[in-house]
Amino acid sequence: MGIPLLDLKAQYLTIKDEIDQAIFDVLDSSVYILGPQMKALEKEIAVYCGTEEAVAVGNGTDALVLTLKAFGIGPGDEVITTPFTFFASAETIAQVGATPVFVDIDPVTLNMDLNELEKKITPQTKAIIPVHIFGQMVDVERVMEIAARHDLKVIEDAAQAIGAEYRGKKAGSIGHAAAFSFFPTKNLGAYGDAGMIVTNDKDLASQLRMLRFHGCQTKYYHEKIGYNSRLDEMQAAILRVKLKYLDQWNEGRREKAKIYDQLLAGTKIQLPGRDPLATPIYHLYVLRTEERNALMEKLKAGGVANAIYYPVPLHLQRAFRSLGYKAGDFPVAEKACEQALAIPCYPELGIEQQHEIAALIKG
């Protein structure tokens, strides 16, 4: 009993034969790193996103780190992102030695507030990392216009947004580069860690291929100090099976979201805010309410899983104390952290379950 936030077992059972076969095929080939599955997945993801290149790496965090490194970003540089996201969006900026600079979020979409963005640009700014939070794209074309005026790089953090669109353009296809995560709970999830960078920049792609492999173009000839961050063959084979179902699954999430929108209309609960030009994929379906604790209690009592995304905005995280931010600096993000609550939203969720969840919320 009980309804989980996400049901990975249910998803696996729908594609078990194909997945099991793919895993056995890799075992049979006994090729595990930098092999044909990874290369095929790179091609398929590039085609899916409409980009020239895709470079597979160990996880979504590394996708951001390697891209920042490849753009030559480091100490003394500033990179702008949002405080309402998973830690990695800003952690990676600090990892390469640069300084994360935050800009508050839009109260409707919870994405970076593009009206505030330009004010944060200084002579030290080198890049912008817009995050497509919960699977709804930011207007990256507008970010690119702002970036062009200041000669900045734009790296989309598309970890939650593979398949999402803005004015019909896919997440990852507009920025100078974009990072995807295939963490198991993402919309396209591996059975372990995995990530990918997409770009139209061939030079960048070849830099990234070196960086993920100890700075090598040819094995044992090291051009630069790199990393060990490859997407292994097992995960690549699994992701290739799952990629075929991604559009169908994303459409399923959109259907569930629409049903919630209808069932919960007219309540005091604030539904997920939509940008009319965006086609979201509902990585998470996130409600907002001033009475979050009470809502959590009701859901818990009814056996319905729920989770806070995110409890603490990044500018108030202890790890970023040295940046000198304080409560009140980004009021929209802070309020979102006090009010946001994700409820179950995944393709296998049943209509009766959605009615049950809506009744609990309204009750």
Catalytic positions, please? 186
**Between the CA of residue 328 and those of 62, 278, 315, what are the distances in Å?**
31, 29, 10
67 forms part of the interface with ligand PLP (CB under 6 A):
no
Find the binder of ligand PLP among 51, 61, 125, 173 (CB under 6 A): 61
Find the binder of ligand PLP among 100, 195, 344, 347 (CB under 6 A): 195
Find the binder of ligand PLP among 157, 232, 233, 334 (CB under 6 A): 157
96 forms part of the interface with ligand PLP (CB under 6 A):
no
187 forms part of the interface with ligand PLP (CB under 6 A):
no
Instruction: CB nearer to ligand PLP: give 111 or 279.
Output: 111
Stretch that binds ligand PLP, among 85-93, 116-124, 261-269, 304-312 (CB under 6 A): 85-93
Q: 102 in the Ramachandran plot: left (φ > 0), alpha (ψ -120 to 50) or beta?
A: beta
Q: Min. distance of Cβ 328 from ligand PLP in angstroms?
A: 24
Instruction: CB nearer to ligand PLP: give 189 or 226.
Output: 189
- Could you say which DSSP state residue 316 is in? G
55 forms part of the interface with ligand PLP (CB under 6 A):
no
What is the Cα–Cα distance from 3 to 362, expressed in whole angstroms? 17
Find the binder of ligand PLP among 59, 67, 289, 339 (CB under 6 A): 59
Contacts of 330 (CB under 8 A, 6+ apart): 83, 84, 102, 103, 104, 105, 313, 315
86 forms part of the interface with ligand PLP (CB under 6 A):
yes
Secondary structure of residue 320 in the 3-state scheme: helix
Closest to 272 in 3D by CA, of 332, 264, 10: 264
160 forms part of the interface with ligand PLP (CB under 6 A):
yes
Q: 160 in the Ramachandran plot: left (φ > 0), alpha (ψ -120 to 50) or beta?
A: alpha
83 forms part of the interface with ligand PLP (CB under 6 A):
no
Q: What is the dihedral of CA 114, 120, 122, 126, to 10 degrees?
A: -60
Instruction: CB nearer to ligand PLP: give 107 or 192.
Output: 192
Residue 160, φ and ψ in degrees, nearest 5:
-105, 10
Could you list the residues that contact ligand PLP (CB under 6 A)? 59-61, 85-86, 88-89, 131, 157, 159-160, 181, 183, 193, 195
